[in-house]
Chains A and B, each alone.
Chain A
Amino acid sequence: MDYYDIFISVLASTIRLSIPLIFTALAGLFSERAGIFDIGLEGKMLGSAFAAACVAYLTDSAWLGLGAGILCSVALSLVHGFASITNRGNQIVSGVAINFFIAGITIVLGQAWFGQGGRTPQLAPDSRFAPIILPGADAARDIPIIGPLYANVISGNNILTYLAFLAVPFSWWVLYRTRFGLRLRAVGENPGAVDTAGISVAWLRYRAVMCAGILCGFAGTYLAIAQSAAFIKDMSAGKGYIALAALVFAKWKPVPVMFACLLFGFLDALANFMQGKQVPLIGEVPVQVFQALPYVLTCVLLAGFIGVATPPKAGGVPYTKER
């Protein structure tokens, strides 16, 4: 295999691995920009993956699967909102609780309903999101350099992949160019001021966590019925936390979020590719190095060695109206 083919194949898997991260990190962006920490991203992604796989299997419809994924994830967001907005509970604790609950319930219900050790049954191709071949992809394949790039990286992805890349500018537009976005950012920095302006802090934050729920629903659905053809237990495998790391890495901004997710996706793809291969002068690089790298990078960033990552000021603090 020549170098360009390797490059194309690593690039293609980078995109594949980045999509759930992009959706989830954008979800975290909406929530944390409104001042609600969300450790529960992992659980929401896993829960919606399970719901999407179940419904897609029962109805043979990928779109109904997506609907179920979103519904499940939004419901979990509302639980998180109820605990952390209405009851002013600890947001971290609530997120941790959701992660545990989902990690358990998906396997318990999966085993009880389908009897396959927590898996859901394999989906037929029709009930999944199939790859979309863009016009001219096959014809372009033989054009040097641009051909393989177009045919194997840009074309041939499923609709959720394209939606993820559309979600980035859309999130930017919502956050920076709409009144809702302005208020959402304000409520994460200074809820008191928003309250004084006569806008309900609680309702605004509820809407923010619901946005997070919708986006996590896309992420989970992608995992279960676009990338794979079934729900597999613990299939989110820490991606929710990687997304959280990407969010910090991107300093809570939409476009950098996309690049951070692509970077972390690239590290993942590289780790898969490098397994068992020799690097000149170094020898075989242990796969654990790549696995740990996103987390190490995030800590280095948090330490302030590559710029300063300042989280939203009111993040994690429940808002109490003055009386």
Chain B
Amino acid sequence: MSTASVPLPNWINYGLIPLLNLTVAFLISGFVVWLIGESPLDALSLLIQGALGNGEGIGFTLYYATSFIFTGLSVAVAIHAGLFNIGSEGQAYLGGLGCALVALALDRYVPWYVTMPIAVVGAGLFGAAWAFIPAFLQAKRGSHIVITTIMFNYIGAALMVYLLVHVLIVPGKMAPETRTFLEGGQLPKLGWVMQLFGAKLGAAPFNVSFIIALVVSYLVWLLVWRTKLGFEMRTLGVSPTAATYAGIPYARTVIIAMLLSGALAGMMALNPVMGSSARLQVEFVGGAGFVGIAVSLMGRNHPLGIIMAAILFGILYQGGDWVSFEMPNITREMILVIQGLVILFAGALEYMFRPAMVRLYQQLKRA
């Protein structure tokens, strides 16, 4: 008998099975560490220490998590509409352009809290614009969104390098980056939040965009589960044919979902561009768009899950830095290994343990 259709209680579906998948991913990561000749347990304890051991570590962890919340939400919104947006990376990159243009234009005239909302809009608009053509091609021309968004990542990277090297570069400087924003274009750090817990933020760039990320998470939850548009998107995600039959306009919903997804990815740029380095640099996204895929899959495409998964990945990134510093044998790229395994087991192999779970569950119920 097929086990695919047997219903399982929620705590198994959303708790036990993801946990099992995640555990396997981490066990294999531990095996890799062991293979290199280091102790996995030592590495783990270093990782936790580096990420959560002091205020500065926590600050960095939350700084990374902020970016991942945005990109995770970006991937999730598209997935709810049945679209696999692999282009969050490029959309975030272009979002940085929007955000930087606003900051460059306003930073000498107004304080940061006036710049911020406009920068959010700018970043969102540019991110959405970069998602528009792939969305349009998917909706009207039937070209596969995965292929087009990959292409747009590369086109975006080439465009941004061109702009930074030839247009936005500070005359006379060698580094391809914009000038440093004045205070009116910088987001304040959240040192006071750390002080509430008696910890010091130190050099960590944990900043106001974390709060924006939390607000946006709530808005995404409202949108997806509490509005007509969200319902239409989810219906489309479950079955495009059924959605069309029910009178949900396919093209419009696809385009709106992708615009939202692109805007969310674009807003990620606030964190590194205005929150941390106060300038636009080459490759500032640094793979956060792809981490969003893992975060969204792990968080089961739910904002709350995404926040938790983003913090977990923040721990991995910050802790990973610490581990590679203390154990030179383990390089920073170990994070990519873990990330790949998490995506594999939590995403592609998510149903691997299901048949076994069903058998176990049925036996338990009979007993």
| Bound Cα distance A117, B350 (Å) | 34
Determine whether B196 belongs to the interface, using a CB cutoff of 8 Å to chain A.
no
CB under 8 Å from chain B, chain A span 60-108: 79, 82-84, 87-94, 96-105, 107-108
Residue of A nearest to B37 (CB): A112
A-chain residues with CB within 8 Å of residue B335 when the two chains form the complex: 104
B49-57, B154-162, B198-206, B219-227: which lies at the A interface?
A: B154-162
By beta carbon, the residue of chain A nearest B1 is A323
Q: Which residues of B contact A256 (CB under 8 A)?
A: none
A87→B150 contact, CB < 8 A? no
Q: Is A244 an interface residue (CB 8 A)?
A: yes
Q: Give the most central of A89, A241, A248, A286: most B CB within 10 Å.
A: A89
Q: How far is the CB of B150 from chain A (nearest CB, A)?
A: 6
Which B residue sits closest to A111, measured CB to CB?
Answer: B331
Q: Are A93 and B297 interface neighbours, CB within 8 A?
A: yes
Q: How far is the CB of A243 from chain B (nearest CB, A)?
A: 12
A39 interfacial by beta-carbon distance below 8 Å: yes
Whether B293 lies near A96 (C-beta < 8 A) is yes
Which residues of B, 124-157, contact A by the 8 Å Cβ criterion?
133, 137, 141, 143-144, 146-148, 150-152, 154-155
Whether, in the assembled complex, B23 has its beta carbon less than 8 Å from a beta carbon of chain A, the answer is: no
- Of A89, A101, A302, the residue contacting B347 (CB under 8 A) is A89
Interface residue A296 (Cβ < 8 Å from any Cβ of B): yes
Residue of B148, B165, B294, B333 near A302 (CB, 8 A) is B148
B342 closest partner in A (C-beta): A97
CB contacts under 8 Å to B, within A190-215, are: none
Which chain B residues in 321-367 approach chain A with CB under 8 Å? 329-331, 333-341, 343-344, 347-352
B86 at the interface (CB under 8 A from A): yes
| Cβ–Cβ contact A288 & B86, under 8 A | no
- Does any Cβ of B come within 8 Å of A292's Cβ? yes
CB-based contact B155/A302 at 8 Å:
no
Interface residues of B toward A: which range?
A: 35 or more
- In chain A between 212 and 245, which residues have their CB closer than 8 angstroms to a CB of chain B? 238, 241, 244-245
Whether, in the assembled complex, A9 has its beta carbon less than 8 Å from a beta carbon of chain B, the answer is no
A residues near B (Cβ < 8 Å) are 37, 39, 79, 82-84, 87-94, 96-105, 107-109, 111-112, 118, 238, 241, 244-245, 248, 286, 288-289, 291-292, 295-296, 298-299, 302-304, 309, 311, 323
Interface set of B (CB-CB < 8 Å, partner A) = 2, 32, 35-37, 84, 86, 133, 137, 141, 143-144, 146-148, 150-152, 154-155, 158-159, 161-162, 165-166, 290, 293-294, 297, 329-331, 333-341, 343-344, 347-352
30 inter-chain pairs at a CB distance below 8 angstroms, sorted by A residue, are A39-B146, A79-B344, A83-B349, A92-B84, A94-B344, A94-B347, A94-B348, A96-B86, A97-B343, A97-B347, A98-B340, A100-B290, A103-B333, A104-B334, A104-B338, A105-B337, A108-B333, A108-B337, A112-B36, A241-B154, A244-B147, A289-B158, A292-B158, A295-B151, A299-B133, A299-B148, A299-B152, A299-B155, A303-B137, A323-B2
